[in-house]
Amino acid sequence: MNFCRTESLIDTVTHYCPGCGHGIIHRLVAEVLDELGVREKTIATAPVGCAVLFYNYMKCDIIECAHGRSPAVATAIKRLLPENVVFTYQGDGDLAAIGMAETIHAANRGENITVIFVNNAIYGMTGGQMAPTTLLGQMSTTTEAGRGNNQEGPPIKVCELLSMLDGVTYLERVAVNDAKNVIKTKKAIRKGFLNQIEGRGFSMVEVLSMCPTDWKVSPLKAAEFVNIDMKSVFPLGVYKDEDGQ
């Protein structure tokens, strides 16, 4: 077996913390673009969040968006350039807090785009504030005693929420806590892109991912937190698959 850095992933050191899931997910997206042979016609959006420098790591065209606005920007790009492959790469603060309106409406319109949603249950870049996806009882700088059901409300489950919308084609939740799940994540991302290439409509892949720094745990404990705590609140699986493939 061979394992080499794929062409679309720029050969450089990332700014991510040790054990951060973003690096794994970047690699998977880059490998899928190369395997599908679409790098030259791919246009991505970069979020506000730790992945704000996404454009420094990928060899495709990337537009930096205002916080949360990626699905609206991607809508415009895809409608103007339908032959191009268009995807957003967003954190949970970006996609499910400030950008929730854009997310829901782009999904509901069935825009033919691919959304890569990195759920690390926290605002990483700004130092660990509560995200819509923070677990009940999970500590953050804005929920020092742990997120409370009465005070902050329970975590928002984005796949479940979007599965109610008729416009949506494909929703799958995966994780990058171990190699087996990483391989499954790549399959889901590939399917998300294939759906778009074949004109099937809105696809979102939600990836449960580690943020050891703002969870204030070691990388190994962070992988365990995804495996035990996050998966029990955010079950993995396919939430919608309109073509049943």
Partner 1 sequence: MADIQIDIERCKGCGLCVLQCGHGCLKMSEDTNESGNTYAMINGSKDKCTGCGLCCQMCPDVAISICNEKTNTKKNKS
Q: What residue ranges bind ligand TPP (CB under 6 A)?
A: 48-51, 67, 91-94, 98, 118, 120, 122-126, 131
DSSP 199-232: T--EEEEEEE---HHHHTS-HHHHHHHIIIIIHH
Q: Given the complex with ligand SF4, which of 99 and 201 has the nearer CB atom?
A: 99
Residue 50, interface with ligand SF4 (CB under 6 A)? yes
One of 90, 212, 225, 226 touching ligand SF4 (CB under 6 A): 212
Q: Bridge partners of 143?
A: 140
Out of ligand TPP, ligand SF4, partner 1, none, what residue 27 binds, judged by CB under 5 to 8 A for its kind, is partner 1
d(CA 33, CA 57): 13
Show the site string, 9-38: x = touches ligand SF4 by CB under 6 A, - = not. Answer: -------xx--x-x----------------
Structure token pair of residue 203: 């696809």
d(CA 173, CA 157): 10
Element of type H or E holding 26? helix 21-36
Show the site string, 145-184: x = touches partner 1 by CB under 8 A, - = not. Answer: ---------------------------------xx--xx-
| Cβ neighbour number for residue 153 with a 10 Å cutoff | 11
Cβ(68)–Cβ(112) below 8 Å: no
- Dihedral sign for Cα atoms in the order 77, 197, 60, 159: positive
Show the site string, 8-47: x = touches partner 1 by CB under 8 A, - = not. Answer: -x---xx-xxxxxxxxx--x--------------------
d(CA 188, CA 92): 18
Task: Pick the stretch among 5-13, 82-90, 99-107, 144-152 that binds partner 1 (CB under 8 A).
Answer: 5-13
d(CA 243, CA 63): 30
Show the site string, 72-111: x = touches ligand SF4 by CB under 6 A, - = not. Answer: ----------------------------------------
Q: How far is the CB of 109 from ligand SF4 (least distance, A)?
A: 29
- Contacting residues toward partner 1, per CB under 8 A: 1-5, 9, 13-14, 16-24, 27, 178-179, 182-183, 212, 218-220, 223
